[in-house]
Each structure stands twice: as structure tokens, then as C-alpha cells.
A and B are shown apart, each in its own frame.
Chain A
């Protein structure tokens, strides 16, 4: 029997991506100009999955509103994880919705349908041996390192500090329905149930099969990762907009003035308007209904839905949330910059600025490289900002 149901874990906020997650969970952040979760669903549907159970929680209305009851004719059932107590706890919420073998995937990373198909094909429902995807990565220290012996997992080391490891856990699993009991039997760590803890118990007490796969697998941990994510998506041409020139994708319902210049790769979403003299690209993704004013320059940036860039602005290495309004002559020079997230300072990151949902800059505002602007913040005319601008802040010169 082939597995035809997938449980997608899409309940977490992704706190390290603040301020972009003020109004939506990480799976709904843009990979180029579509939500990450759309790529996950695409991978599942392309691999032949015909039922999706989405575990939603943090700001779940954004997931539900975007996808509704079906995605590409595959029905989606929503189950709610009201407190985010770990990935194992999230999967447990799907218990009443699933009583058969299933795939389990994280909703907040782009995956390829080959990875999904690989795990599905390797999983033997008769034995029910848990199966997971492993793939080769350089940055193993950020993920769960997996050591395999033949097809079997020997150990899993979470976020290893040594660099002897080569393979990571790709976050794509196949289980049978006994996984729910196994999660319940797993001791909680500081109140949380991580799916990887249950997996570790499977490794200790029985067998876990590993499927070595390759293909697109892109994660975003910090806001500036959305820039590299967009670059990867565009480099692979993974957009669903029509291609109008080499690596220039423009939606049918977008308006790009004849006197505007699009430098590939670039994608322009539906309802966008790009004015005369604007130079957009390379490596730019304009989400739905974005407006770029006359003579504005936008390079290596992700501008999410409803963002408005007024005439004469210059944006490099910039990520905007939704409905951000940057007034005439806003300037954001690109990185490198030192960016503080929480108590940690990340040095030499290539980042111009991250601007939270509905933040507004009046004209002639400059944002120093590495600036994080909180949602709904209001930067008045002529402000020079750097570091962190708090949510709802009124900043005057």
C-alpha cells in the first residue's frame, strides 16, 4: 500500500525571523514571491500525495485564508496546535485525522518532490519502519546530523559542534500510525515534545531507515536568509509566473511600463505596477500588488505583497513585509553589516534592511545596512535609522 496522506507541520512562528513573523507563521513568509508552504504543498502534490493534513497554530488564519479547503485539487484538513510545544506535540494533534501510514514534513522549508517521493518509495508500510530523508549539506551544525550504516540510521546528533558530519535530517519522514503512541511515550524536555526525540528513541530501540536524496532543499533561519532563498528559487526558475524574457517572469495581471528596466533574474507578481525609469533586479522578487515608483532602483531584494516604493528610492539587499510603504527617496544601501538578533550579533551579513509589515517611511529616509524596522513603525521625513526600530515606533529626525 502506498502512502497517500501527508501531515505538514505549519504551526510555528519562527521567532528568529522576527519582525517578519508579526502577522504570520514562518511557512507563510515569501520564498521569492510565493509562500514557502506553497513549495512544500507543490512537492507533496507532485509526488502524488492526495490528502494533506496541515497542523496550524501561530496566526493560523493566514494559512487557512491563503489555501482554503484545497490546494491543486488536493483536500486540506486543518488541525490546530493551540500551544507550540514542539514538533512531536504538533504531529500528535493530527492523531484524530490520520489512522494510516503517513508522510510528515516541515512546512517551513522548501523541499523538492524527489525528496518526498524518495521517502515514500522507501517506506515499507508492512514493516512500518520509520523512514527519513537525509541529504548532504555544508552547514550540518545548524541541523540534526545523521550517521548512516547502509540504509539504516546509526545515530542522530542535534546541532553537532564538531564538523565530522556530512548528512543532515531533511525533515521529511514516513511513519505508520503507531508514531502517535511513540510520541506520547517520549519524555518531554522542558515541557516540549520534539519529533527528533521520538526519532532518537526509534533509533535506540529499533530500526530507522534513511533515504539519501538530493534536490532543492532551502531553509531560512534569519531574515536575510530570505534573500538567498529568493536567489535559489530564481536560479532554478521555480516561479509559477510566465517567463517573458530569459529569467524574467511577469504575471499577466502586472503592469510594467515600457520605460522600466527589469534585470534578470526577476519575478513580478500579479497586480504589480512598475513605473517608468525604475530599474528592478537582478535577484528581485516582487510579491502581489507591489508598486515601484518612477526612477526607483531595487536590487537583490524581496518585496512582499502590497509594498509600495515611491519614486527615486534605492533599495539593495532589502526584505520588506506586507504593505510596507517607503516614501520618495528612501535609501537602503546593501550589506555587509553586523546584525543583532536577540543577544547574538551576526557579523558581515549581506543585508540592507528588513522592514516589518505595514511600516511606513516618509520621504528621504535612510536605513543603514543591517537595520531591522518593526511592524507599523513610522519613520518621519529625513530620518537616518540603524540597528533596531521597535514595532509601532514613531521616529523623527
Chain B
């Protein structure tokens, strides 16, 4: 997703700060990048491709200035080309703008501007903004007033930052897209996300929707839509900037897979008490919901499916919805608690589903990884998963932390009869996960099936979301066709796809009726010559029908889902590595999807 960086007050170092910031935003996914600096005239450089391409572009006559903005673009309007890369400029070349989000009324604005004689160079929605500023400047407005005037005409979601030739300031505004300020003693920054400037300062100010910010060398001011100054709290973030390093691993994804024992410990720390058979989730324990509706997207949706199952097992009606569908086709909510599961807390689809729920009077809870994120601030309640920053676009450690956190939620708001057993299993999750990391044979399984034409994943109950997530992970980073199914659904259609070239990953844990039924499904695919990879704790007899086995430690069925997922993460990773894919930044994908 697009990323914004801005810097004021770093005379002589502005360009370095911007390019460094862009490299820290790479994890959001992007297809082009650019910068604009002002001080000695306004200079803009941009291109399609990687940040390294931009660096090459910047080598000849590097632009300089005391103020600058930069952008990584993830295409929504118009393909990734040099022209469509940000910053965008007006006809005079005196204004440069970067933008994250979607301007919904851009077509009508653009028609008006073209009719008035403006020339457009790109296909983007963003380009209307510099031209609107140009018009206001031509009408005699000062730079800040011109910026406000332009923003007032926009509908949709945006985080926008603009610089104007001859003015040593950045003007910025936010609506439905993240924007955060960085405050240092002698310099100010703004960015879509903290890592972009975290190497320079740990003091941050989160902008709210509808707020404007003006950064000058000697001051930063946040104001509302009417121009009134807003007093903002300056927060301190405790993330270690170096946590974005790969610490000896080839990819962030593998590093993050290996960080899972630690992420799980952080998630559970101080929250479980096996002696008392209780969990401590603070005020959330008082929520006592009579029903729960989860809203989420992608990997988080799979966590939500799992969470809904846990609550249903405790007797609370619960369902999981795709956030994008929920936002527009909202079901009756009644007294249900609406829980948004979003790693970044900035997922636009999830935010709009939560807003719709709030509009209808529902209580909302955010389950998120990012302190101070939009979801955390907008919801009535928040449960942090404490996984630490995740850089790989494919979610791994945040998924297992979501599952652990949802267990805490289920235990905290219900009276589970087997609470102590579940807590014991949760406490063993870090070491059980480590056991898989120590001894997994996923790499050899991946090698064996890397050239298969398609991959299927089946599971039942707790393992059904795991099957879906296993398929999604494989899709995301290998670009191969993969689907997850509930075991019982195979015979209702998907079985037609099964051949001797489509490995089927069967997640079977325990040895109860559910496991027996899934073993039955395994026999169905085995009879059709599909290679079978069993992910199992060895309790059932599934190994008899499997070509390969990925073993997980024996544990509580709920914890088994977390462990089975780790094996499937490793299969996806090693398959993608063998195929030479861009594992940390898969094509067409973005880390946090901040457009609907």
C-alpha cells in the first residue's frame, strides 16, 4: 500500500532521510517511488520500479532542500509508470503532492480542471490535488489556505502531503488513511507509519481524521477543518528500529516464522494463570457478550473464523464475516459485540465494517498488533496481540498471535469448563512451536512438490481455518494455485480437481470422530492418486494413507491449530524459496491494505 514520508529541518540530509524512510516503507508493497524537495526551487524525481531504481535516478544531480516529501506507490488508478508515480505536480511546477488513499470524486474534479485549461500528465486520482492548489494560489491564497481549499473539495480517503515552491513547509491532511508525525528537537517528520522515521525519533503524534498538520523548521501545528489549533499528545513508541533487520535470515518471513515462540510468549505474558485457571484481559472480561460478530480480511479473517468457533464452543453465538462484505451488506447486529481483527489496525475494509457497526450502535473491539492504530483508537475496546513489528507481506507471527489472543478473549469472556487445560496448552505453545522449528521436514516436502500444478488443503473444525490459511499463504508467496476446503466439502465439488499432480495437505489432529471423518476424506483423495501430506500429531491412523508426514506435538485441539499452521507456513516458505519468488514482497500485494 502507498507510503508517505516527509522531512523538515534536516538541511543537507533531507534526501537521505526521505530515501531511507521510503526503504523502511517498502514492506507495505509498492511498484514505484519518488521524492520532491524544496528550498532552492522545487525539484521532483520519480520512477516506476524499486527504490534502488529511484536511487540510481537520484545519482545525477541529487535534489537538495530543507523540506521534502517522498512516496512509495501501490497502483490503484493507472498502471505503475514513471508518470503515475508520486509526487504529482501542477501546471506551473510550483506544487508537489503525495497521496495515499482513493479520491472518489476525482473524475468530476479532473473534468472541471481540464475544462478550465489544466493539463494532466498521469492517470492518477492524486493529480487533481496539485492543480486545485494551483488554482487557489492563482486566486491569491497563501500556500496553507490554498492547500486547505484543495482538501475541502476532496471526497474519499486520503493522507496527503504537499510542498510549495518558495515556502519551507509541508502541509498535510488526513481522512481515513494513516498519517503520523515524528517530533525531534530540531526536525519534524511525517509518514504513513512509524518505522519510516523511527531511526530519527521515537516521539510521535497520531493525526485523526479531518485534521491538518503544518510542519516548518521551527514549529509543528495540528489544526482541525476550521483552522482551530488542536492540542495533540506526543506519544513515545518503544519499537526498536533495528527490529526491522533480518538478523541473519535470508528473508523477513523466515525470521518472523522463527520469532513465533517469542511472539506467543509476549502475547501470553502476564495474561494467563494456570494455577488459578484464569486469564487476565483486564476490562474486557466485563464485556459479557451475548453474541459476537467478527469482521476481518485475508489472514485475519481466518483467525476470525477460528475465534468464532472458540466462542461458539463456549455457548456464545458467534460468526465471522469478510469485512468488505459486512460493510456493504451488514447483517442484523442485535446486541452482538463486533470484533475487528486487523494486524495493522489500518485495514480499510475492516475499519469501514467497524464504523458501520458503530453507526448502528454496536459495541466494538479491535484485536490488533499496532498500538495507536486507527482501529485501536476508534473501537470501544482493544486487545493487543503483541507480536511486534511484522515486515514480510505474508502474515505469519501475527496470525499465531491472533489465534493465541482470541483464545484469551474466549477464556476471558466466557466460562469454559476446560479453562485450565486450555491455559496449560497455551503455556506450552511457545515450546511446542519451537519443537516444530527444530525438527520440521517441511523443506523436503516443499522440494518434492514444488512443481505440482495445484495444492489443496483440507481440515475440519479448528483445522478448517488452518487449511484456508495454509492455502492463502502458499498462494501469496508462491503464485501457485492453492485452495483450502472443509474436509466434508470435497465430495461436493472440489474432488473433481484432484489428480496425481495435486498434493493434498490434510490437517488431522486428535483421534476423535472429527479426525476419523477427515481420515475418510484423505482416503477419498488417495483413491484418486493425489499425493497426501498429513499434518498430524500422530494420534489417528492418517499416516497409513499419507505419502509424507509433517508432525506436530500432541496438545489440546485448540493449540494444535496453531501448531499445524506453523508447518504449513514452512511449506509455503520453502516452496516459494525453491521457486525463487519475491518472498517478502510478493507481486501485486501490500502489507496493510488501506484502500477499500
Contacts and interface: CB of A to CB of B under 8 A. Distances in A.
A329 B451 CA distance: 52
Contacts of B431: 289, 305-306, 322-323, 358
Given A253-B270, A271-B268, A322 B246 contact: no
A331 to B, nearest CB: 23
Interface in A57-94: 60-61, 63-65, 67-70, 73, 75-76, 78, 80
A63 B270 CA distance: 25
Interface string A21-65: 001000000000000000000000000000000001000110111
Contacts of A60: 248
B247 A257 contact: no
Q: Which of B244, B430, B432 has the most CB of A within 10 A?
A: B430
Contact of A323 (B243, B245, B428): B428
Nearest to A22: B438
B249 interface: yes
Given A61-B258, A64-B248, A65-B258, A275 B270 contact: no
B217 interface: no
B435 A358 contact: yes
Q: Which of A68, A70, A270 has the most CB of B within 10 A?
A: A68
B245 A68 contact: yes
Given A255-B275, A358-B435, A80 B248 contact: yes
Contact of A64 (B247, B427, B432): B247
B223 interface: no
Interface in B233-280: 240, 242-249, 255, 258-259, 261-262, 265, 268-270, 273-275
Contact of A273 (B259, B269, B274, B434): B274
B595 interface: no
A257 B261 CA distance: 26
Given A271-B265, A271-B268, A358-B435, A76 B247 contact: yes
Interface string A260-290: 0000000000110101000000000000110
Contacts of A64: 247-249, 255, 258
Contacts of A305: 431
Contacts of B416: none
A273 B268 CA distance: 13
Interface in B426-477: 427-428, 430-432, 434-435, 437-438
Given A56-B248, A65-B261, A323-B435, A273 B275 contact: yes
Q: Which of B258, B262, B438 has the most CB of A within 10 A?
A: B438
Interface residues of A, number: 32
A295 interface: no
Interface in A118-166: none
Contacts of B244: 69
By DSSP majority rule, is chain B's interface helix, strand, loop, or mixed?
Answer: helix
A15 to B, nearest CB: 18
A291 B242 contact: no
B248 A70 contact: no
B427 A69 contact: no
B202 to A, nearest CB: 12
Contacts of B270: 252-253
B247 A68 contact: yes
A332 B243 CA distance: 42
A253 B246 CA distance: 29
A271 B269 contact: yes
Given A306-B428, A323-B428, A69 B245 contact: yes
Given A65-B261, A289-B430, A323-B428, A75 B242 contact: yes
Given A271-B265, A289-B430, A306-B428, A69 B243 contact: yes
A78 B248 contact: yes
Interface in A350-380: 358
Interface in A333-354: none
Interface string A215-229: 000000000000000
Given A69-B245, A70-B242, A257 B275 contact: yes
Nearest to B249: A64
Nearest to B438: A23
Contact of A275 (B247, B255, B275): B275
A323 B434 contact: yes
A273 B273 CA distance: 8
B317 to A, nearest CB: 33
Interface string A282-324: 0000001101000000000000011000000000000000110
Contacts of A306: 427-428, 430-431
A305 to B, nearest CB: 7
A291 B273 CA distance: 11
Nearest to B432: A323
B243 A68 contact: yes
A185 to B, nearest CB: 29
Q: Which of A61, A64, A73, A257 has the most CB of B within 10 A?
A: A61
A305 B243 CA distance: 24
Contacts of A323: 428, 431-432, 434-435
Nearest to B435: A358
B273 A255 contact: yes
B429 to A, nearest CB: 10
A358 B249 CA distance: 26
A171 B244 CA distance: 32
Contacts of A322: 431, 434
Nearest to A252: B270
A289 B248 contact: no
B265 A289 contact: yes
A65 B259 contact: yes
Nearest to A325: B428
Given A291-B427, A306-B428, A322-B431, A61 B437 contact: yes
A253 B268 CA distance: 10
A257 B275 CA distance: 8
Contacts of A270: 265, 269
Contact of A69 (B242, B265, B269): B242
Nearest to B428: A306
Nearest to B271: A253
Contacts of A76: 247
Interface string A166-189: 000000000000000000000000
Nearest to A64: B248
Contact of A289 (B247, B255, B427): B427
Nearest to A275: B275
A164 B543 CA distance: 63
B247 A78 contact: yes
B427 to A, nearest CB: 6
A65 B264 CA distance: 13
Contacts of B247: 64-65, 67-69, 76, 78
A10 to B, nearest CB: 11
Interface string B404-418: 000000000000000
A194 to B, nearest CB: 25
Given A255-B273, A306-B428, A70 B261 contact: no
A75 B242 CA distance: 7
Nearest to B246: A69
Contacts of A68: 242-243, 245, 247, 259
Contacts of B246: 69
B191 to A, nearest CB: 21
A60 B438 CA distance: 11
Contacts of B249: 64
A69 B388 CA distance: 14
B280 to A, nearest CB: 11
Contacts of B258: 61, 64-65
20 contacts: A23-B434, A60-B248, A61-B258, A67-B247, A68-B242, A68-B245, A69-B243, A69-B245, A70-B240, A70-B243, A78-B247, A255-B275, A257-B275, A270-B265, A270-B269, A271-B268, A291-B274, A306-B427, A306-B431, A323-B431
Given A76-B247, A323-B432, 18 more contacts: A60-B248, A64-B247, A64-B248, A64-B249, A64-B258, A65-B258, A65-B262, A68-B243, A69-B244, A70-B245, A78-B247, A271-B265, A273-B275, A275-B275, A288-B265, A289-B430, A306-B431, A323-B435
